[in-house]
Amino acid sequence: MTNAAERPVNGRTDQADTLTGVITFVAKQAKSFYDAKPDGDWPMTIFAFSPTGCHVLQTHFNVTRREETYAAFSEAFKELGVESYVVASEAWAGRKGSTTPPFMQADRREILLITAVDMTGTATMTMDITRNRKGKVIKLTPGVIARDGAGPLTELLA
């Protein structure tokens, strides 16, 4: 897969059996990351869960190559026997209902967007990122986990 590194993680976590569980697992990983690297930027990371364990795929997502990227992930998921996965990426969040892109809104929020996917559907949680004036993460505030049915992200598992 282009621009991606895979690192198997020993053993399968007990929490990886439900979408809420995998979101909680990734939220803990994010907290550990920012605790160790408070001035760091979380790269787009996919935690892919299979019967053999958790596989971590990292990439720099290029929106202009979206279909190519999705196809590469779908192929990797088939090879690994992935049953569920979580995508976690930093993002900007804007005002609800606004037609202005978040990056252009002065009152935008920096978030970590965590989306878990299995064949039953998706679950999403955002974590607000608070940085000090020097750009170091000083607080991660988890939001509510929202559940949705099957959609385009579940097709990557097919």
pLDDT tens series, the chain, 158 aa: 333 333 334 344 443 448 888 898 889 989 999 999 988 888 888 899 899 888 888 777 776 777 888 888 888 899 999 999 999 999 889 888 889 988 888 888 999 999 999 888 899 999 999 999 998 999 999 998 888 887 777 888 86
Domain hosting 153: range is 5-157
What's the pLDDT score for residue 82?
92
Token digits of residue 36: 């160790």
d(CA 50, CA 9): 11
Domain count, the chain: 1
